Chains A and B, each alone.
Chain A
Amino acid sequence: MNHNIELNQVTYTYPGITTPALTDLSLAIPAGQFCAVVGPNGAGKSTLAYTLSGFIPHFYHGTLQGEVTIAGMNTRDTPLSELVLMVGLVFQNPFNQISGTKFTVREEIAFGMENLGVDRQEMINRCDDIMAKVGIRDLAQRSPLSLSGGQMQRVVIASVLAMQPQILILDEPTSQLDPIGSREVLLTIRELASTHAMTVVMIEHKLEWLAVYADRMVALADGTIIADGLPGEVLADEAVWSRGVGRTRYTQASHQARMNGLWPKGRSLAVTLEQAVAGFQAAQTTYSKKS
Protein backbone atom coordinates (compact mmCIF):
# COMPACT_ATOMS: atom_id res chain seq x y z
CA MET A 1 0.00 0.00 0.00
CA ASN A 2 1.23 3.44 -0.79
CA HIS A 3 1.54 4.99 2.62
CA ASN A 4 2.70 8.57 2.66
CA ILE A 5 3.33 8.56 6.38
CA GLU A 6 4.41 5.61 8.46
CA LEU A 7 5.22 5.53 12.12
CA ASN A 8 6.52 2.26 13.47
CA GLN A 9 6.55 1.75 17.25
CA VAL A 10 7.62 5.28 17.95
CA THR A 11 8.50 6.27 21.48
CA TYR A 12 9.69 9.80 22.18
CA THR A 13 10.80 11.58 25.32
CA TYR A 14 11.53 15.29 25.51
CA PRO A 15 14.98 16.22 26.84
CA GLY A 16 15.06 16.46 30.61
CA ILE A 17 11.68 14.74 31.10
CA THR A 18 11.25 11.19 32.42
CA THR A 19 7.82 10.23 31.05
CA PRO A 20 7.64 9.64 27.29
CA ALA A 21 5.33 11.90 25.33
CA LEU A 22 4.60 9.16 22.81
CA THR A 23 4.72 5.45 23.65
CA ASP A 24 5.01 2.65 21.13
CA LEU A 25 2.92 4.48 18.56
CA SER A 26 2.30 2.97 15.14
CA LEU A 27 0.34 4.73 12.44
CA ALA A 28 0.10 4.48 8.67
CA ILE A 29 -1.58 7.21 6.64
CA PRO A 30 -2.14 6.65 2.91
CA ALA A 31 -1.46 9.41 0.43
CA GLY A 32 -4.31 11.87 0.01
CA GLN A 33 -6.11 11.02 3.23
CA PHE A 34 -7.53 13.71 5.52
CA CYS A 35 -6.78 12.37 8.96
CA ALA A 36 -8.03 14.16 12.08
CA VAL A 37 -6.21 13.77 15.38
CA VAL A 38 -8.16 14.41 18.57
CA GLY A 39 -7.51 13.97 22.24
CA PRO A 40 -7.19 15.79 25.55
CA ASN A 41 -4.43 18.31 26.19
CA GLY A 42 -1.21 16.56 27.06
CA ALA A 43 -2.05 13.48 25.01
CA GLY A 44 0.88 14.03 22.69
CA LYS A 45 -0.90 15.55 19.69
CA SER A 46 1.58 18.37 19.15
CA THR A 47 4.44 15.96 19.75
CA LEU A 48 2.96 13.81 17.01
CA ALA A 49 2.80 16.81 14.68
CA TYR A 50 6.47 17.58 15.26
CA THR A 51 7.39 13.92 14.77
CA LEU A 52 5.47 13.78 11.49
CA SER A 53 7.31 16.80 10.16
CA GLY A 54 10.80 15.85 11.25
CA PHE A 55 11.13 18.57 13.86
CA ILE A 56 11.47 15.68 16.21
CA PRO A 57 14.33 14.67 16.27
CA HIS A 58 16.04 17.50 14.37
CA PHE A 59 14.74 20.61 16.16
CA TYR A 60 13.58 19.17 19.46
CA HIS A 61 16.28 16.75 20.48
CA GLY A 62 15.52 14.12 23.10
CA THR A 63 15.21 10.36 22.61
CA LEU A 64 13.36 9.04 19.56
CA GLN A 65 12.91 5.30 19.24
CA GLY A 66 11.22 3.56 16.36
CA GLU A 67 11.02 4.52 12.71
CA VAL A 68 9.29 7.47 11.07
CA THR A 69 9.03 7.43 7.30
CA ILE A 70 7.61 10.40 5.39
CA ALA A 71 7.14 10.23 1.62
CA GLY A 72 9.64 7.41 1.57
CA MET A 73 12.27 9.24 3.60
CA ASN A 74 13.35 8.21 7.07
CA THR A 75 13.19 11.32 9.26
CA ARG A 76 16.22 10.36 11.29
CA ASP A 77 18.48 10.01 8.26
CA THR A 78 17.17 12.88 6.18
CA PRO A 79 18.17 16.49 6.98
CA LEU A 80 15.36 18.79 8.08
CA SER A 81 15.95 21.11 5.14
CA GLU A 82 14.90 18.30 2.80
CA LEU A 83 11.96 17.17 4.90
CA VAL A 84 10.40 20.63 4.87
CA LEU A 85 10.08 20.33 1.11
CA MET A 86 7.62 17.49 1.64
CA VAL A 87 5.83 18.59 4.75
CA GLY A 88 4.07 21.86 5.53
CA LEU A 89 3.44 22.68 9.18
CA VAL A 90 0.89 25.17 10.52
CA PHE A 91 0.49 25.64 14.25
CA GLN A 92 -1.65 27.58 16.67
CA ASN A 93 -0.15 31.01 17.07
CA PRO A 94 -0.16 32.92 13.78
CA PHE A 95 1.88 35.80 15.22
CA ASN A 96 4.92 33.58 15.57
CA GLN A 97 4.57 32.02 12.14
CA ILE A 98 4.87 35.06 9.94
CA SER A 99 8.41 35.59 8.76
CA GLY A 100 8.74 39.01 10.35
CA THR A 101 10.67 40.34 7.38
CA LYS A 102 8.00 41.03 4.81
CA PHE A 103 6.06 44.24 4.41
CA THR A 104 3.11 42.95 2.41
CA VAL A 105 1.02 39.79 2.54
CA ARG A 106 1.95 38.93 -1.04
CA GLU A 107 5.63 38.90 -0.22
CA GLU A 108 4.94 36.99 2.97
CA ILE A 109 3.36 34.23 0.94
CA ALA A 110 6.44 34.19 -1.29
CA PHE A 111 8.84 33.84 1.65
CA GLY A 112 8.90 30.06 1.63
CA MET A 113 9.23 29.87 -2.13
CA GLU A 114 12.12 32.35 -2.08
CA ASN A 115 13.95 30.14 0.37
CA LEU A 116 13.49 27.19 -1.94
CA GLY A 117 14.81 29.12 -4.92
CA VAL A 118 11.57 28.99 -6.91
CA ASP A 119 11.65 30.93 -10.19
CA ARG A 120 10.22 34.44 -9.92
CA GLN A 121 7.41 34.11 -12.45
CA GLU A 122 6.35 30.82 -10.87
CA MET A 123 6.25 32.58 -7.50
CA ILE A 124 4.02 35.31 -8.85
CA ASN A 125 1.63 32.76 -10.33
CA ARG A 126 1.45 30.67 -7.18
CA CYS A 127 0.90 33.73 -4.98
CA ASP A 128 -2.04 34.90 -7.03
CA ASP A 129 -3.46 31.41 -7.22
CA ILE A 130 -3.23 30.62 -3.52
CA MET A 131 -4.54 34.02 -2.41
CA ALA A 132 -7.63 33.48 -4.51
CA LYS A 133 -8.14 29.96 -3.14
CA VAL A 134 -7.75 30.94 0.50
CA GLY A 135 -9.87 34.06 0.04
CA ILE A 136 -7.31 36.69 0.99
CA ARG A 137 -6.85 38.52 -2.33
CA ASP A 138 -8.07 41.74 -0.72
CA LEU A 139 -5.26 41.54 1.84
CA ALA A 140 -2.47 41.32 -0.75
CA GLN A 141 -0.94 44.75 -0.13
CA ARG A 142 -1.56 44.88 3.62
CA SER A 143 1.25 44.61 6.12
CA PRO A 144 1.16 41.20 7.81
CA LEU A 145 1.64 42.92 11.17
CA SER A 146 -1.54 44.92 10.78
CA LEU A 147 -3.83 41.90 10.37
CA SER A 148 -6.16 40.34 12.92
CA GLY A 149 -5.35 36.89 14.31
CA GLY A 150 -7.80 35.21 11.98
CA GLN A 151 -6.57 36.99 8.87
CA MET A 152 -2.98 36.26 9.84
CA GLN A 153 -3.69 32.57 10.24
CA ARG A 154 -5.13 32.43 6.72
CA VAL A 155 -1.99 34.13 5.42
CA VAL A 156 0.14 31.54 7.21
CA ILE A 157 -1.87 28.70 5.70
CA ALA A 158 -1.56 30.28 2.26
CA SER A 159 2.21 30.69 2.66
CA VAL A 160 2.65 27.07 3.60
CA LEU A 161 0.40 25.86 0.77
CA ALA A 162 2.37 27.98 -1.70
CA MET A 163 5.33 25.72 -1.08
CA GLN A 164 3.20 22.86 -2.46
CA PRO A 165 3.93 20.28 0.20
CA GLN A 166 2.83 16.69 -0.26
CA ILE A 167 1.79 16.51 3.34
CA LEU A 168 0.13 19.25 5.37
CA ILE A 169 0.12 19.10 9.15
CA LEU A 170 -2.02 21.53 11.08
CA ASP A 171 -1.97 21.87 14.87
CA GLU A 172 -5.16 23.62 16.01
CA PRO A 173 -5.15 26.03 13.06
CA THR A 174 -8.55 27.57 13.82
CA SER A 175 -8.09 28.55 17.46
CA GLN A 176 -7.98 32.26 16.58
CA LEU A 177 -10.91 32.11 14.17
CA ASP A 178 -14.60 32.73 14.74
CA PRO A 179 -17.04 29.82 14.12
CA ILE A 180 -17.84 30.47 10.48
CA GLY A 181 -14.22 31.39 9.77
CA SER A 182 -13.17 28.04 11.24
CA ARG A 183 -15.59 26.17 9.06
CA GLU A 184 -14.42 28.04 5.94
CA VAL A 185 -10.77 27.25 6.61
CA LEU A 186 -11.57 23.59 7.17
CA LEU A 187 -13.53 23.47 3.96
CA THR A 188 -10.76 25.20 1.99
CA ILE A 189 -8.21 22.74 3.26
CA ARG A 190 -10.51 19.85 2.47
CA GLU A 191 -10.98 21.11 -1.10
CA LEU A 192 -7.31 21.85 -1.70
CA ALA A 193 -6.38 18.49 -0.29
CA SER A 194 -8.68 16.73 -2.74
CA THR A 195 -7.61 18.70 -5.79
CA HIS A 196 -3.89 18.41 -5.07
CA ALA A 197 -3.98 14.89 -3.59
CA MET A 198 -2.33 16.24 -0.47
CA THR A 199 -2.24 14.20 2.73
CA VAL A 200 -3.63 16.23 5.61
CA VAL A 201 -3.20 15.60 9.31
CA MET A 202 -5.24 18.02 11.42
CA ILE A 203 -5.25 18.34 15.18
CA GLU A 204 -8.39 20.03 16.45
CA HIS A 205 -10.66 20.42 19.44
CA LYS A 206 -13.57 21.79 17.42
CA LEU A 207 -15.23 18.55 16.50
CA GLU A 208 -18.43 19.39 14.67
CA TRP A 209 -17.02 20.15 11.24
CA LEU A 210 -13.98 17.96 11.61
CA ALA A 211 -16.32 15.01 11.81
CA VAL A 212 -17.91 16.05 8.52
CA TYR A 213 -14.77 16.77 6.51
CA ALA A 214 -12.21 14.28 7.77
CA ASP A 215 -11.84 10.84 6.18
CA ARG A 216 -10.41 9.28 9.28
CA MET A 217 -10.00 10.09 12.93
CA VAL A 218 -7.29 9.00 15.35
CA ALA A 219 -7.82 9.56 19.07
CA LEU A 220 -4.75 10.02 21.22
CA ALA A 221 -4.49 9.83 25.01
CA ASP A 222 -1.41 9.53 27.23
CA GLY A 223 0.88 9.18 24.24
CA THR A 224 -0.88 6.24 22.62
CA ILE A 225 -3.62 5.72 20.06
CA ILE A 226 -6.86 4.70 21.75
CA ALA A 227 -9.10 4.71 18.69
CA ASP A 228 -8.65 4.81 14.94
CA GLY A 229 -11.45 4.76 12.38
CA LEU A 230 -14.20 6.80 10.81
CA PRO A 231 -14.94 10.03 12.67
CA GLY A 232 -18.49 8.83 13.23
CA GLU A 233 -17.24 5.68 14.94
CA VAL A 234 -14.51 7.24 17.04
CA LEU A 235 -16.59 10.09 18.42
CA ALA A 236 -19.53 7.83 19.26
CA ASP A 237 -17.35 5.49 21.31
CA GLU A 238 -17.94 5.76 25.06
CA ALA A 239 -14.52 4.34 25.87
CA VAL A 240 -12.99 7.23 23.97
CA TRP A 241 -14.99 9.82 25.92
CA SER A 242 -13.78 8.48 29.22
CA ARG A 243 -10.19 9.27 28.18
CA GLY A 244 -10.98 12.95 27.74
CA VAL A 245 -11.72 13.15 24.03
CA GLY A 246 -14.65 15.47 23.42
CA ARG A 247 -17.95 14.85 21.78
CA THR A 248 -20.43 16.97 19.90
CA ARG A 249 -23.74 17.99 21.47
CA TYR A 250 -25.45 15.75 18.94
CA THR A 251 -23.64 12.77 20.41
CA GLN A 252 -24.49 13.86 23.92
CA ALA A 253 -28.15 14.31 23.00
CA SER A 254 -28.43 10.95 21.25
CA HIS A 255 -26.60 9.28 24.13
CA GLN A 256 -29.03 10.78 26.62
CA ALA A 257 -31.91 9.63 24.43
CA ARG A 258 -30.47 6.12 24.36
CA MET A 259 -30.13 6.09 28.15
CA ASN A 260 -33.81 7.03 28.38
CA GLY A 261 -34.59 4.19 25.98
CA LEU A 262 -35.68 6.55 23.23
CA TRP A 263 -32.96 6.08 20.65
CA PRO A 264 -33.65 3.59 17.84
CA LYS A 265 -32.18 0.24 18.75
CA GLY A 266 -29.05 -0.75 16.88
CA ARG A 267 -28.51 2.74 15.56
CA SER A 268 -25.15 4.25 16.33
CA LEU A 269 -25.03 7.56 18.13
CA ALA A 270 -25.17 10.75 16.07
CA VAL A 271 -21.98 12.72 15.59
CA THR A 272 -23.05 15.29 13.01
CA LEU A 273 -26.15 17.42 12.54
CA GLU A 274 -27.33 15.27 9.65
CA GLN A 275 -27.03 12.07 11.64
CA ALA A 276 -28.81 13.66 14.60
CA VAL A 277 -31.72 14.84 12.47
CA ALA A 278 -32.06 11.45 10.82
CA GLY A 279 -31.75 9.63 14.15
CA PHE A 280 -34.26 11.71 16.06
CA GLN A 281 -36.71 11.63 13.19
CA ALA A 282 -36.42 7.84 13.09
CA ALA A 283 -36.87 7.74 16.87
CA GLN A 284 -39.96 9.92 16.51
CA THR A 285 -41.53 7.51 14.02
CA THR A 286 -40.63 4.42 16.04
CA TYR A 287 -41.87 5.70 19.34
CA SER A 288 -44.95 7.51 18.17
CA LYS A 289 -46.09 4.24 16.62
CA LYS A 290 -45.69 2.62 19.99
CA SER A 291 -47.67 5.25 21.86
Chain B
Amino acid sequence: MDIWIDQLSFTYPAGVTALRGVSLKAMPGESVAIIGENGAGKTTLVKHINGLLKPTSGQVLVGGWNTREYTVAQLASRVGYVFQNPDDQLFASTVWAEVLFGPKNIGLTMEQATERADAALRAVGLIDSAQKHPYDLSISQRKKVAVASVLAMQTPMLVLDEPTTGQDHNDTELVGQIVEDLKEQGRTVITITHDIDFCAEHFDRVVVMAQGMILLDGPARDTLMQAEVLAQTHVEPPQLMRLSEQLNMQERPLNVQEFIEFWCA
Protein backbone atom coordinates (compact mmCIF):
# COMPACT_ATOMS: atom_id res chain seq x y z
CA MET B 1 0.00 0.00 0.00
CA ASP B 2 1.36 3.38 -0.86
CA ILE B 3 0.92 6.65 0.96
CA TRP B 4 0.93 10.18 -0.36
CA ILE B 5 1.17 13.09 2.05
CA ASP B 6 0.64 16.27 0.12
CA GLN B 7 1.50 19.72 1.55
CA LEU B 8 0.22 18.71 4.96
CA SER B 9 -0.14 21.43 7.55
CA PHE B 10 -1.64 20.94 10.96
CA THR B 11 -2.42 23.28 13.81
CA TYR B 12 -3.66 21.98 17.15
CA PRO B 13 -6.84 23.52 18.60
CA ALA B 14 -4.73 25.23 21.25
CA GLY B 15 -2.98 27.15 18.47
CA VAL B 16 0.31 25.32 18.09
CA THR B 17 1.29 24.70 14.46
CA ALA B 18 2.89 21.29 14.51
CA LEU B 19 3.29 20.66 10.78
CA ARG B 20 4.15 23.14 8.05
CA GLY B 21 3.58 22.00 4.52
CA VAL B 22 5.00 18.49 4.82
CA SER B 23 5.08 16.34 1.69
CA LEU B 24 6.07 12.70 1.61
CA LYS B 25 5.43 9.76 -0.67
CA ALA B 26 6.07 6.14 0.20
CA MET B 27 5.75 3.25 -2.21
CA PRO B 28 4.31 -0.14 -1.24
CA GLY B 29 6.86 -2.16 0.69
CA GLU B 30 9.10 0.74 1.60
CA SER B 31 10.52 1.01 5.09
CA VAL B 32 10.70 4.59 6.33
CA ALA B 33 12.15 5.85 9.60
CA ILE B 34 11.25 9.30 10.87
CA ILE B 35 13.80 10.82 13.20
CA GLY B 36 14.28 14.16 14.90
CA GLU B 37 14.10 15.91 18.23
CA ASN B 38 11.16 15.81 20.61
CA GLY B 39 8.56 18.26 19.39
CA ALA B 40 9.62 18.09 15.74
CA GLY B 41 6.18 16.91 14.70
CA LYS B 42 6.94 13.23 14.11
CA THR B 43 4.01 11.85 16.09
CA THR B 44 1.69 14.53 14.71
CA LEU B 45 2.69 13.45 11.22
CA VAL B 46 2.14 9.73 11.67
CA LYS B 47 -1.19 10.29 13.41
CA HIS B 48 -2.43 11.62 10.10
CA ILE B 49 -1.64 8.32 8.43
CA ASN B 50 -4.41 6.39 10.13
CA GLY B 51 -6.73 9.33 10.41
CA LEU B 52 -6.37 10.09 14.11
CA LEU B 53 -5.71 13.63 13.02
CA LYS B 54 -7.21 15.26 9.97
CA PRO B 55 -5.21 17.85 8.03
CA THR B 56 -5.79 21.54 8.65
CA SER B 57 -4.69 21.98 5.03
CA GLY B 58 -3.29 19.60 2.46
CA GLN B 59 -4.24 15.96 2.22
CA VAL B 60 -3.20 12.45 3.07
CA LEU B 61 -3.98 9.57 0.71
CA VAL B 62 -3.57 6.02 1.96
CA GLY B 63 -3.78 3.61 -0.98
CA GLY B 64 -5.97 6.15 -2.70
CA TRP B 65 -8.25 6.73 0.28
CA ASN B 66 -8.39 10.36 1.38
CA THR B 67 -8.15 10.22 5.18
CA ARG B 68 -10.64 13.05 5.50
CA GLU B 69 -13.32 10.79 4.13
CA TYR B 70 -12.79 7.80 6.41
CA THR B 71 -13.00 7.12 10.12
CA VAL B 72 -10.05 5.81 12.09
CA ALA B 73 -11.81 2.46 12.48
CA GLN B 74 -12.17 2.19 8.71
CA LEU B 75 -8.54 3.13 8.07
CA ALA B 76 -7.52 0.50 10.63
CA SER B 77 -8.02 -2.16 7.96
CA ARG B 78 -5.21 -0.53 5.96
CA VAL B 79 -2.92 0.97 8.60
CA GLY B 80 -1.91 -0.79 11.80
CA TYR B 81 -0.65 1.62 14.48
CA VAL B 82 1.40 0.41 17.42
CA PHE B 83 1.27 2.96 20.21
CA GLN B 84 4.27 3.61 22.40
CA ASN B 85 2.60 2.69 25.68
CA PRO B 86 0.97 -0.75 25.70
CA ASP B 87 -1.08 0.15 28.77
CA ASP B 88 -3.07 2.53 26.57
CA GLN B 89 -4.74 -0.42 24.88
CA LEU B 90 -4.63 -3.60 26.98
CA PHE B 91 -8.07 -4.42 28.35
CA ALA B 92 -8.82 -8.11 27.77
CA SER B 93 -8.56 -10.80 30.43
CA THR B 94 -6.23 -12.97 28.36
CA VAL B 95 -3.41 -12.25 25.95
CA TRP B 96 -5.26 -14.33 23.36
CA ALA B 97 -8.45 -12.26 23.58
CA GLU B 98 -6.36 -9.11 23.33
CA VAL B 99 -4.68 -10.23 20.13
CA LEU B 100 -8.00 -11.35 18.62
CA PHE B 101 -9.56 -7.93 19.19
CA GLY B 102 -8.08 -6.13 16.20
CA PRO B 103 -8.72 -8.83 13.58
CA LYS B 104 -12.32 -9.25 14.73
CA ASN B 105 -12.93 -5.50 14.53
CA ILE B 106 -11.82 -5.31 10.91
CA GLY B 107 -14.32 -7.96 9.91
CA LEU B 108 -12.31 -11.19 9.67
CA THR B 109 -13.96 -14.55 10.34
CA MET B 110 -13.16 -16.33 13.60
CA GLU B 111 -11.05 -18.81 11.67
CA GLN B 112 -8.97 -16.18 9.95
CA ALA B 113 -8.62 -14.16 13.13
CA THR B 114 -7.46 -17.23 15.10
CA GLU B 115 -4.88 -18.08 12.46
CA ARG B 116 -3.48 -14.57 12.42
CA ALA B 117 -3.49 -14.20 16.20
CA ASP B 118 -1.54 -17.44 16.46
CA ALA B 119 1.05 -16.29 13.92
CA ALA B 120 1.41 -12.92 15.59
CA LEU B 121 1.98 -14.38 19.06
CA ARG B 122 4.58 -16.75 17.67
CA ALA B 123 6.34 -13.85 15.97
CA VAL B 124 6.77 -12.09 19.31
CA GLY B 125 7.56 -15.29 21.20
CA LEU B 126 4.57 -15.18 23.53
CA ILE B 127 2.44 -18.10 22.26
CA ASP B 128 2.95 -19.87 25.60
CA SER B 129 1.52 -16.92 27.50
CA ALA B 130 -1.71 -16.84 25.50
CA GLN B 131 -3.95 -17.66 28.45
CA LYS B 132 -2.30 -15.28 30.89
CA HIS B 133 -3.76 -11.99 31.98
CA PRO B 134 -1.85 -9.21 30.20
CA TYR B 135 -1.17 -7.36 33.44
CA ASP B 136 0.49 -10.44 34.91
CA LEU B 137 3.24 -9.91 32.34
CA SER B 138 6.13 -7.48 32.65
CA ILE B 139 6.03 -4.14 30.86
CA SER B 140 8.28 -5.31 28.02
CA GLN B 141 6.14 -8.41 27.51
CA ARG B 142 3.05 -6.22 27.47
CA LYS B 143 4.71 -4.17 24.77
CA LYS B 144 5.10 -7.36 22.74
CA VAL B 145 1.43 -8.21 23.25
CA ALA B 146 0.54 -4.76 21.92
CA VAL B 147 2.73 -5.35 18.87
CA ALA B 148 1.22 -8.80 18.33
CA SER B 149 -2.30 -7.41 18.54
CA VAL B 150 -1.53 -5.08 15.64
CA LEU B 151 0.49 -7.63 13.66
CA ALA B 152 -2.52 -9.94 13.82
CA MET B 153 -4.51 -7.45 11.79
CA GLN B 154 -2.07 -8.05 8.93
CA THR B 155 -2.55 -4.61 7.51
CA PRO B 156 -0.66 -3.63 4.33
CA MET B 157 0.88 -0.69 6.20
CA LEU B 158 2.18 -0.36 9.74
CA VAL B 159 3.14 2.59 11.87
CA LEU B 160 5.41 1.88 14.85
CA ASP B 161 5.76 4.63 17.44
CA GLU B 162 9.09 4.24 19.26
CA PRO B 163 9.08 0.43 19.20
CA THR B 164 12.46 0.06 20.93
CA THR B 165 12.14 2.53 23.81
CA GLY B 166 12.75 0.77 27.09
CA GLN B 167 13.56 -2.50 25.34
CA ASP B 168 16.67 -4.48 26.12
CA HIS B 169 19.11 -5.91 23.58
CA ASN B 170 17.22 -9.11 22.80
CA ASP B 171 13.85 -7.37 22.57
CA THR B 172 15.31 -4.82 20.20
CA GLU B 173 16.64 -7.60 17.98
CA LEU B 174 13.19 -9.18 18.03
CA VAL B 175 11.60 -5.95 16.87
CA GLY B 176 14.23 -5.73 14.16
CA GLN B 177 13.37 -9.27 13.05
CA ILE B 178 9.69 -8.39 12.94
CA VAL B 179 10.45 -5.36 10.78
CA GLU B 180 12.47 -7.54 8.39
CA ASP B 181 9.62 -10.07 8.18
CA LEU B 182 7.17 -7.27 7.42
CA LYS B 183 9.44 -5.96 4.69
CA GLU B 184 9.70 -9.44 3.23
CA GLN B 185 5.92 -9.67 3.17
CA GLY B 186 5.85 -6.48 1.12
CA ARG B 187 4.22 -4.34 3.79
CA THR B 188 4.97 -0.64 4.12
CA VAL B 189 6.55 0.07 7.50
CA ILE B 190 6.84 3.55 8.96
CA THR B 191 8.51 4.09 12.29
CA ILE B 192 9.40 6.87 14.66
CA THR B 193 12.57 6.13 16.56
CA HIS B 194 15.35 7.65 18.60
CA ASP B 195 17.54 4.59 18.15
CA ILE B 196 19.61 5.63 15.16
CA ASP B 197 21.56 2.40 14.99
CA PHE B 198 18.33 0.40 14.85
CA CYS B 199 17.14 2.82 12.19
CA ALA B 200 20.23 2.32 10.05
CA GLU B 201 20.03 -1.46 10.25
CA HIS B 202 16.41 -1.93 9.26
CA PHE B 203 15.11 1.07 7.36
CA ASP B 204 15.88 1.85 3.74
CA ARG B 205 14.71 5.41 3.87
CA VAL B 206 15.10 8.08 6.54
CA VAL B 207 13.15 11.29 6.97
CA VAL B 208 14.65 13.91 9.28
CA MET B 209 12.24 16.37 10.86
CA ALA B 210 12.57 19.54 12.87
CA GLN B 211 10.01 22.15 13.88
CA GLY B 212 7.21 20.79 11.78
CA MET B 213 9.21 20.49 8.56
CA ILE B 214 11.23 17.88 6.76
CA LEU B 215 14.95 18.68 6.70
CA LEU B 216 16.08 15.60 4.82
CA ASP B 217 14.39 12.74 3.02
CA GLY B 218 16.32 10.04 1.27
CA PRO B 219 18.09 6.69 1.43
CA ALA B 220 19.43 5.89 4.89
CA ARG B 221 23.00 5.82 3.71
CA ASP B 222 22.82 9.40 2.46
CA THR B 223 20.74 11.07 5.14
CA LEU B 224 22.33 9.50 8.20
CA MET B 225 25.81 10.69 7.39
CA GLN B 226 24.87 14.38 7.35
CA ALA B 227 26.00 15.10 10.89
CA GLU B 228 25.46 18.89 10.84
CA VAL B 229 21.85 18.62 9.67
CA LEU B 230 21.14 15.85 12.16
CA ALA B 231 22.66 17.92 14.96
CA GLN B 232 20.11 20.66 14.26
CA THR B 233 17.45 18.25 15.38
CA HIS B 234 19.39 16.75 18.28
CA VAL B 235 20.34 13.54 16.55
CA GLU B 236 23.72 11.93 15.84
CA PRO B 237 24.76 9.62 13.00
CA PRO B 238 24.82 5.90 13.82
CA GLN B 239 27.83 4.53 15.70
CA LEU B 240 29.31 2.71 12.70
CA MET B 241 29.02 5.74 10.43
CA ARG B 242 30.85 7.88 12.95
CA LEU B 243 33.50 5.20 13.19
CA SER B 244 33.91 4.90 9.44
CA GLU B 245 34.20 8.64 9.17
CA GLN B 246 36.96 8.79 11.79
CA LEU B 247 38.77 6.00 9.98
CA ASN B 248 38.57 8.00 6.75
CA MET B 249 36.64 5.30 5.00
CA GLN B 250 34.93 6.18 1.74
CA GLU B 251 31.79 4.14 2.18
CA ARG B 252 29.15 4.54 4.86
CA PRO B 253 28.10 1.25 6.45
CA LEU B 254 24.60 0.61 7.71
CA ASN B 255 25.44 -2.43 9.82
CA VAL B 256 28.33 -4.44 11.23
CA GLN B 257 28.58 -6.74 8.22
CA GLU B 258 28.88 -3.84 5.78
CA PHE B 259 31.40 -2.15 8.04
CA ILE B 260 33.72 -5.15 7.98
CA GLU B 261 33.27 -5.53 4.22
CA PHE B 262 34.03 -1.88 3.52
CA TRP B 263 36.92 -1.79 5.93
CA CYS B 264 38.58 -4.84 4.44
CA ALA B 265 38.41 -3.35 0.98
On whether A and B touch (CB less than 8 Å), the answer reads yes
Using CB atoms and an 8 Å cutoff, list the residues of chain A in contact with chain B: 39-42, 92, 148-151, 172, 175-181, 205, 208, 244-250, 252-253, 256-257, 260, 262, 273, 276-277, 280-281, 284
Which segment of B145-153, B213-221, B231-239 sits at the interface? B231-239
Contact partner, A246, options B39, B169, B194, B242, Cβ 8 Å: B169
A172 touches B38 (CB 8 A): no
Additional 13 contacts, C-beta under 8 A, given A41-B140, A178-B37, A253-B259? A39-B168, A172-B166, A175-B165, A176-B165, A178-B233, A179-B235, A180-B231, A180-B235, A245-B169, A260-B264, A262-B260, A273-B239, A273-B243
- Residues of chain B within 8 A of A92, CB atoms compared: 166
Most chain A CB within a 10 A radius of its CB, from B39, B139, B243: B243
- List 6 tightest A-B contacts by C-beta distance, closest first: A246-B169, A249-B239, A180-B234, A41-B140, A40-B168, A178-B234
Cα(A284)–Cα(B248), bound, Å: 12
CB atoms of A249 and B231 under 8 A apart: no
Chain A residues near B109: list those with CB within 8 A.
Answer: none
Contacts of A148 on B, CB cut-off 8 Å? 38-39
Whether A250 pairs with B239 at a CB distance below 8 angstroms is yes
Does B204 reach chain A (CB closer than 8 Å)? no
Residue contact B168 to A253, C-beta cutoff 8 Å: no
> Which residues in B have their C-beta under 8 angstroms from that of A172?
166
Q: Out of A208, A244, A260, which one reaches B170, CB within 8 Å? A: A244
Q: What residues of A have a CB within 8 angstroms of the CB of B168 in the complex? A: 39-41, 205, 244, 246
**CB closest residue in chain A, given B241:** A249
The answer to whether residues A273 and B246 also contact, given A180-B236, A249-B239, A256-B260 and a CB cut-off of 8 A, is yes
User: Can you list 20 pairs linking A and B with CB atoms under 8 Å apart?
Assistant: A41-B140, A41-B166, A41-B171, A92-B166, A172-B166, A176-B165, A178-B194, A178-B233, A178-B235, A180-B236, A208-B239, A249-B243, A253-B256, A256-B260, A257-B260, A257-B263, A273-B246, A276-B243, A277-B246, A277-B247
User: Distance (Å) between the CB of B227 and the closest chain A CB?
Assistant: 11
**Residue B229 interfacial (CB < 8 Å):** no
Docked complex Cα distance between A208 and B196 (Å): 12
Query: Do A273 and B170 contact each other (CB < 8 Å), given the known contacts A41-B138, A148-B38?
Result: no
Q: Given A208-B239, A249-B197, are A179 and B234 neighbors across the interface (CB < 8 Å)?
A: yes
CB contacts between A and B, total, < 8 Å: 97
Q: Are A244 and B236 in contact (CB under 8 A)?
A: no
B169 & A280 in contact (Cβ 8 Å cutoff): no
Is B23 in the interface zone, CB < 8 Å from A?
no
Give A172 to B165 CA distance when docked, in angstroms. 10
Binding site for A on B (CB under 8 A): 36-39, 138-140, 165-172, 194, 196-197, 231, 233-236, 238-240, 242-243, 246-247, 256-257, 259-260, 263-264
CB distance from A273 to the nearest CB of B (A): 6
Separation in Å of the B13 CB from the closest CB of chain A?
15
Chain A residue nearest to B240 (CB atoms) is A249
B248 to chain A, nearest CB (A): 10
A181 in contact with B38 (CB, 8 Å): yes
Query: In the complex, what residues of A have CB within 8 A of residue B172's CB?
Result: 246
Q: Please, which residues of chain A bring their CB within 8 A of the CB of B197?
A: 249
Is the pair A280, B247 in contact by a Cβ cutoff of 8 Å? yes
Distance in angstroms between the alpha carbons of A102 and B240 in the assembled complex: 44
A205 and B236 form a contact (CB under 8 A): no
Tell me the bound Cα distance from A149 to B51 in angstroms: 24
Is the pair A181, B234 in contact by a Cβ cutoff of 8 Å?
yes
Complex contact B194–A249 (CB within 8 A): no
Q: Report the minimal beta-carbon distance from B110 to chain A, rounded to whole angstroms.
A: 34
B37: shortest Cβ distance to chain A, in Å?
5
Q: Is the CB of A205 within 8 A of B167?
A: yes
In the complex, chain A residues whose CB is within 8 Å of the CB of B242: 273
Whether A249 pairs with B256 at a CB distance below 8 angstroms is: yes
Interchain CA distance A252-B259 in the complex, whole Å = 10
- Set of chain B residues within 8 Å of A151, measured between Cβ atoms: 38
